[in-house]
Amino acid sequence: TDEVFMNAQEAVGAHRDTQGIAQFETRFYCPNKHCGRNYKNKCSLTYHMNNECGINPKFKCQFCPKTSSRYSNLKRHMISVHKYIDNQSNIIETLMTEQN
């Protein structure tokens, strides 16, 4: 009916109006002028600054040159790219171990 259609149109308009708010939310920018990364959460920026920015990646793929500073990203890479599934202790070797 026309009433149902009008209610649906109104709901779509209201939803669209709320989507514009996200573009004005606070972002946290890395202070390193060569980095340019930014985050929605301050804790994500803090993690980036302490563990990623300007630091060599800690984790290395066993099958290709791919490296990552996050264990979870490399694990996802190995499963999706190499179709590799094994227990966690064998999935990733760390560059830190190689350096010692």
Provide the whole-model pTM: 0.52
Averaged pLDDT for residues 48-70: 91
Given a cut of 50, is residue 91 above it in pLDDT? no
The predicted structure's pLDDT at residue 80: 92
Tens-place pLDDT, residues 37-47: 999 999 999 99
Long-range CB contact pairs, 92-97, < 8 A, 24+: 92/59, 92/60, 92/61, 92/62, 93/59, 93/60, 93/62, 94/58, 94/59, 94/60, 95/56, 95/57, 95/58, 95/59, 95/60, 95/67, 96/58
Tens-place pLDDT, residues 2-44: 787 677 778 777 776 666 655 567 899 999 989 999 999 999 9
